[in-house]
Structure 1
Amino acid sequence: MALQWMILAYVVAAEAAVAIIVTLPSPKAVKSRIVSLVSLILQPSLFIIPFSAFQLLDIYWKNEHRLMCSGETCTAAERDRHEKSIYKAQRNAVLCVSACLLYWCIYRICKYHRDIQSMEEVEKRYKEE
């Protein structure tokens, strides 16, 4: 299970880096090249959405079927282990949601940039006529 979360963490870090690169101000020619490259990468990297959804379902399933540690029957070590597992589940849920959210943000940024380019081309054609 740890490998899945490590992969998801690396994907989120890569998405964050791409989001920063795409949103940084740069010359128009460089920006269009970056956006076209990122747009090509977006299609194959769509796998992260179902992967994150599956991981969220796994977190939910484990949360619903987790043994509750409450009352006098729990020792301090059991209580600590229970709280640690809850914190890890919350961290992993945030990781899954951020993966989906970052993918959506990158997609929308690239789409807006392509829309702006097409509008600029239309404006250029009208000015030429």
Structure 2
Amino acid sequence: MIHELKINERWYYHVRDLTKNVEIRVHDRDYQAGDTLLMTVPEKGWLRVERRITHVLPAGLADGIGHGYVALSLDDGGKLAEVEERARRAEASNAPLRGTITRLTREVRELRGAR
């Protein structure tokens, strides 16, 4: 199920940039793990972010969540795995470059020592 919600612009960027992975909401809908939140900044309809719910924690199961509220854990949309894969590829592609830098550094040291 897709839940279309409003989000304050202040929080939009945190959700979009994956620095906010929990959403506290009024428990007025039947939120379920696997559902999608489509959050839009009302004043700027083009600012939209979509995240999938991975876990639902109702108020009665945790201290600190007020009665009638729910904490929704949000996935990263596969972005973490994507970033890790890009980092792995970059590491692999930089290996020859690191070898060249090491070799040239040694040569420079040897030449300086020969003076």
Shorter-normalised TM-score: what interval? 0.3 to 0.5
Using the size of structure 2 for normalisation, the TM-score is 0.34
Higher relative contact order (CA 8 A, sep 6+): 1
TM-score between both structures, scaled by the size of structure 1: 0.31
Higher normalized helix content (fraction of residues):
1
